[in-house]
Amino acid sequence: DAGVIQSPRHEVTEMGQEVTLRCKPISGHNSLFWYRQTMMRGLELLIYFNNNVPIDDSGMPEDRFSAKMPNASFSTLKIQPSEPRDSAVYFCASSLSQGGTGELFFGEGSRLTVL
Amino acid sequence: GESVGLHLPTLSVQEGDNSIINCAYSNSASDYFIWYKQESGKGPQFIIDIRSNMDKRQGQRVTVLLNKTVKHLSLQIAATQPGDSAVYFCAENRGTYKYIFGTGTRLKVLA
């Protein structure tokens, strides 16, 4: 029973480089979320997809961040160009619920360090 | 502003004792609450949830209490074990896709 799968687990890059984080949600789930976790701000919602369509991207910090969901089994979060302040753990989560009435299943996260 | 917060950032308990982790929320419109456990280097893991039409829900060794009058949520862990050491988050939901997460309480279990 595979959960949410994220890659890479760890990424170290230099400022200015492009970073792509990947997520495979649980099969059959129709909602996908990207969160960012830092010590200072905790878990922040970056973007929410429902049935592969971006519904709310108001949490995306700026134009350097973009996310796509080309199909029900794959999503990417891209940062270009990356900056040291982007260093954080990025989580992908999926759920069956459309209206926030159910459990969010989180992946193990991608720890990003931008030097 | 609206927020979900925790009273204690770190809680240390003796192995075998009961643990109580508290959470305050500020929006009376929130109708669904979840407790998550996050171990080091892992993603948050669902523990237990409760809806606003309930004031208590029990799971295996865990109980969640909801006091809507004072907007307070607690997680009780019975007979705390070393494997319970983690950061615990409460999250509130207001009937949409937006979950508001607390900052977390670190639970340390002392042998």
pLDDT of residue B7 exceeding 50, the answer is no
B62 vs B8, residue with greater confidence = B62
Nearest Cα neighbor of A35 from A81, A67, A74, A80 is A67
Distances (CA, A) of A92 to A95, B1, B13: 11, 27, 32
Segments in chain A below pLDDT 50:
none
Q: What is the average pLDDT across B25-54? A: 92
Nearest to B98 among A45, A98, A107 (CB): A45
**How far is residue A53's CA from residue B110's CA, in Å, rounded to a whole number?**
47
Q: Which two tokens stand for residue B93?
A: 């939901």
Contacts of A52-59 with C-beta under 8 Å, sequence gap 24+, read A55/B97, A56/B97, A56/B98
pLDDT of residue B2 exceeding 60, the answer is no
What is the pLDDT, as a whole number, of residue A101? 62
B93 vs B3, residue with greater confidence = B93
Distances (CA, A) of B55 to A23, B4, B58, B71, B89: 36, 18, 10, 11, 19
A100 vs B45, residue with greater confidence = B45
Q: What is the average pLDDT across B82-88? A: 96
β-bridge partners, A88 = A112
- Whether residue B33 contacts residue B74, with contact meaning beta carbons closer than 8 Å, is answered with no
DSSP state string for A5-69: EEE-SEEEE-TT--EEEEEEPPTT--EEEEEEEETTTEEEEEEEEETTEEEE-TT--STTEEEEE
| Mean predicted lDDT score pLDDT of chain B | 90
Choose from A106, A108, A110, A111 for mutation: most chain B CBs within 10 A: A106
Which residues 6+ apart lie within 8 Å of A62 measured at CB?
none
A interface with B, Cβ–Cβ < 8 A, is 4, 31, 33, 42-43, 45, 48, 50, 55-56, 91, 93, 98-101, 103-109
pLDDT of residue B102 exceeding 70, the answer is yes
What is the pLDDT, as a whole number, of residue A61? 87
Nearest Cα neighbor of B41 from A61, A13, A106, A12 is A106
What is the pLDDT, as a whole number, of residue A28? 93
**How far is residue B3's CA from residue A43's CA, in Å, rounded to a whole number?**
13
